[in-house]
Structure 1
Amino acid sequence: MFDSFKSKTGVKELFLTDGKPPYKQALPLALQHVVAMIVGCVTPAIIVAGIALSRGEISPEDKIVLVQGALIVAAVATLLQLISLKNKVGSGLPVIMGVSFAYLATMQAVVQEFDLATLFGAQLTGGIVAVIVGIFIKRIRSLFPPIVTGTVVFTIGLSLYPVAVGYMAGGTGSKDYGSVKNWAVALITLAVVVGLSHFTKGFLKLSAILIGICVGYVIAVILGMVDFSPVLSASWVQLPRPLHFGIKFEPSSMITMSILFVVNSVQAIGDLTATTQGGLGREPSDRELSGGIIGNGLGSLFGALFGGLPTATFSQNVGIVGTTKVVAKRVFYLASGIILAAGLLPKIASLLTTIPQCVLGGATISVFASIAMTGVKLIAKAGLNNRNTAIVGLGVAVGMGITLAPDSLALFPSWVMMVFGKSAVVLATLITVVLNLIIPQEEEKVRVRRRIPLKFTVKEKNFKNLKSL
């Protein structure tokens, strides 16, 4: 589809990073990027806000503020990447940033244990750590080969499965949790997402999650599961509110979030590499990698101050770049402008908060499965010899095991529980990094075929038989 578009229009500007294609051609491509990322960007904010709301910490209006913050920080972080200030902040590559699911399990744990202010304090610390990692990425990159990053990504996916299933059932603590109605809507949503993802092409395939949510949302409206009162009461325009939720610094939360920022910084290398390889046909430079990680750290710092959760490069948008080969920054500037406009309009943010939890669960479980399988691919890329299977197995076993049996740390200080007992990702990261350093590499066994000359004597009487062969 995109090759025919390229040949028919003859517009080369779309395929140059500094190209200036006509807005009538750039706008639809920008909207495609927005459609691909907007649900994934706001869903973590909706989930975290739901926890804070259930604890009585925030009001329904504050939930809208969190969703607004997610959109605004995504737009700002994307602009930082595109502008590339002084060739040091931002990658200068055509990428879209958004709130990352990779932090979700830890964010939930921090909000449940403390509050949103503590979460934003930990995020501020993590953003500073990401900036430092970006500066020294060349020196620490060797600590995170595919076997380590693959195990970590796999663990992230596994740790998010209970979140998705809980949402499919209607959201833990809801009055109709586990009802047939919730499961029916969730499964229909999931069926639409899977069907479009595997049986269609082009726009329908790229927008599978959004379309699945729209179908599930319509069904939920028909069944009377949607309350539109927040939309009616929301204002039309609202600027971000600095430190609206406050900010607190709690050591265990700061340590946990800092570790996750390090892991996510290394994972960003994969997305930036996929962008340059898929869209530009080359490897990213060290400056682009360093600037990209620094830009992400500063974007998350901005988010901590204005109610936006931690950001990361969005892999679905990287996939669009690889498919379309469209790398003109004008397309991405337009996309970031659209995202920013949506973040400044509470009506849009409030409409997103009315999506029932069962619909979100049905749509996001496929996303979490994709995250886990991305980890599996990275592990397979590293090879499954005895050494690597031991690293993966122990990392996942201890990380997930302790998280699923939190009472195993009951007699330890509370900070130990916060750092190691609330997030499987932290333990899995630490264990796989250490094991990768101390377990010796296996010698590669190479089978060499030796050519041994065959010496034999042919008797006179067998010569005729040999000749006939």
Structure 2
Amino acid sequence: MEQLLFKVEDRPPALTSVLLAMQHLLAALGGIIAVPLVVGGALKLPADQVVALVNAALLGSGIVTIIQCKGVGPIGIRLPCVMGTSFAFVGAGISVGLEHGVPGILGSSLVGSLVMIIGSYFMPTIRKLFPHAVTGVVVTMIGLSLTPVAIDWAAGGFGSSHYGEPGNLAIAGFVLLLVIALVQWGKGIISASAVVIGIAVGYLVCLALGKIDFTQVHHAPVFAVPQPMHFGLSFPISGIVAMSIAFLVTIVETTGTFMALGAATQTAMPGKKLARGILCDGVGSAFAALMSSPPVSTFAQNVGVVSLTGVASRHVVALTGVMLLLAGLFPVLGALVVTIPQPVLGGAGLMMFAMIVSAGIQMLGKVEHTKRNGLIIAVSIGCGLAVTVRPELLSKLPTFVKEVFGSGITVGALVAVSLNLLLPGRPVDFAEEEEGGAIEIAREVA
């Protein structure tokens, strides 16, 4: 079993912690900023309101990340979790916003977060729905669903006129090879910092080639304090229903992310621990709504950073939360990070997300080889991939169906859980797995 470089409770030296925290920041920042930009663009908001959404998203994500990592009473899983605005809410958010504006999105999110808060109290029961075969499927689908994102980054960004140009692929390939070399042959902090070093070198190469656009940096304010209730709140019934469905789906996705994180950090994930994490997601989303930010959830891509680097310290990721908070107060810092070309992120991202796939495959390799388990694994991954690689599959279905089944992670998880419950031969006694067997899962793939 490979040893972690830094365990969950370890506190690396200050400068080392900053460097390691920066890796998580780079992995998450684009996603956090993208959601308010997409929503703002769809609603045709003026520039100053989009900036306000971005600042609030960064500040809210930073504060909730700190709480998730450090814990406040029963809130927070106390593992290296980066929290951020989630694309799981984009579809519902835009549909609500087009009719009721940003106040409708935020008010619906505030009420909808109760679904996650209440759901957290049922996590010991929900945990029993995730035996080894189901957990392995969910972890694998997280990696498989994120990999196309990295491919789009590597090619230059989905929808870009320069998509797939040889220059983009060359830069992504260079960063990928550099990260591989640093992980394989680097020692100590060099290996642990492979992602941030690879991105930094790739950035310098792009700078020398004149591929960096500093326009956003020039227009970003140096300092700005997000205002609570900046847009106000409204509570349309249709919006509350839509957001509640999105939160229900997010419980399934976040549970899978936590299971993957448990494997990466060699930590048992009993129901009570999951409950603290889900509660933080719910309370954090309510707080984010009051801060004028879209809802937040645990970022799966940062599990890839942990898997790749062996740095599982929750205190390092809490520092990432501090950096996000500062980015919300100093928008120019966030704008500077956003100048990183997508091919650079793609090279590093492909490595990180593929590590999650690897972890899932190793977990599935430890599952008992029976016809029943084979059916669960094959059908659920097949259905999850169908939605991931062909999202237009759902284009003719009602909006409600697209909201629930729009994510390959969710589809894979729901199919796996359903088959596990319906197929004959299901183990009856889950007590052992709940209390002790979970640690075996966590360690099998370490």
Structure 1 counterpart of 2:443: none
Residue type of the alignment partner of 1:263:
E
Counterpart of 1:39 (choices 4, 26, 36) is 26
Q: Secondary structure at the match of 1:177?
A: coil
User: Is there any run of 5+ residues in structure 1 with no aligned partner, and where?
Assistant: 6-13, 444-469
Structure 1 counterpart of 2:416: 432
Give the whole-Å Cα distance in 1 for the aligned partners of 2:407 and 2:8: 42
Q: Judging changes above 3 Å, is the alpha-carbon distance between structure 1 residues 318 and 60 closer, same or farther for their aligned structure 2 residues?
A: same
Q: Judging changes above 3 Å, is the alpha-carbon distance between structure 1 residues 308 and 37 closer, same or farther for their aligned structure 2 residues?
A: farther
Give the whole-Å Cα distance in 1 for the aligned partners of 2:197 and 2:272: 38
Structure 2 counterpart of 1:143: 129
Give the whole-Å Cα distance in 2 for the aligned partners of 1:245 and 1:217: 36
Residue deviations 1:426-448, cap 9 Å, x none?
222221111001112389xxxxx
Counterpart of 1:203 (choices 189, 192, 214) is 189
Alpha carbons 1:45, 1:66 under 8 Å: kept: no
Structure 2 counterpart of 1:361: 346
Q: Judging changes above 3 Å, is the alpha-carbon distance between structure 1 residues 265 and 245 closer, same or farther for their aligned structure 2 residues?
A: farther
Structure 1 counterpart of 2:386: 401
Q: Identical aligned pairs, as a percentage? A: 30
Give the whole-Å Cα distance in 2 for the aligned partners of 1:154 and 1:119: 32
TM-score (norm 1): 0.73
Give the whole-Å Cα distance in 2 for the aligned partners of 1:381 and 1:189: 32
Q: Judging changes above 3 Å, is the alpha-carbon distance between structure 1 residues 132 and 90 closer, same or farther for their aligned structure 2 residues?
A: same
Q: Is 1:263 the equivalent of 2:260?
A: no
Residue type of the alignment partner of 1:434:
S
Structure 2 counterpart of 1:11: none
Alpha carbons 1:49, 1:63 under 8 Å: kept: yes
Q: Judging changes above 3 Å, is the alpha-carbon distance between structure 1 residues 162 and 78 closer, same or farther for their aligned structure 2 residues?
A: closer
Residues 38-77 of structure 1 aligned to structure 2 (within 5 Å): 38-48=25-35, 51-52=38-39, 57=44, 68-77=55-64
Residue deviations 1:387-425, cap 9 Å, x none?
1121111112223224544555555433223332x3222
Residue type of the alignment partner of 2:415:
I
Alpha carbons 2:61, 2:296 under 8 Å: kept: no
Give the whole-Å Cα distance in 2 for the aligned partners of 1:196 and 1:339: 26
Give the whole-Å Cα distance in 1 for the aligned partners of 2:322 and 2:394: 47
Q: Secondary structure at the match of 1:382?
A: coil
Q: Judging changes above 3 Å, is the alpha-carbon distance between structure 1 residues 111 and 170 closer, same or farther for their aligned structure 2 residues?
A: farther
Counterpart of 2:407 (choices 418, 423, 438) is 423
Q: Give the structure with higher Rg (CA).
A: 1
Q: Secondary structure at the match of 1:224?
A: coil
Residues 146-295 of structure 1 aligned to structure 2 (within 5 Å): 146-242=132-228, 249=239, 251=241, 254-265=244-255, 267-268=257-258, 271=261, 288-295=273-280
Give the C-alpha shift of residue 218 in structure 1. 1.6
Structure 2 counterpart of 1:30: 17
Give the C-alpha shift of residue 98 in structure 1. 3.0
Pairwise CA RMSD: 4.0
Give the C-alpha shift of residue 383 in structure 1. 3.0
Alpha carbons 1:197, 1:206 under 8 Å: kept: yes
Structure 2 counterpart of 1:315: 303
Structure 1 counterpart of 2:374: 389
TM-score (norm 2): 0.76
Alpha carbons 2:112, 2:240 under 8 Å: kept: no
Residues 367-378 of structure 1 aligned to structure 2 (within 5 Å): 367-378=352-363
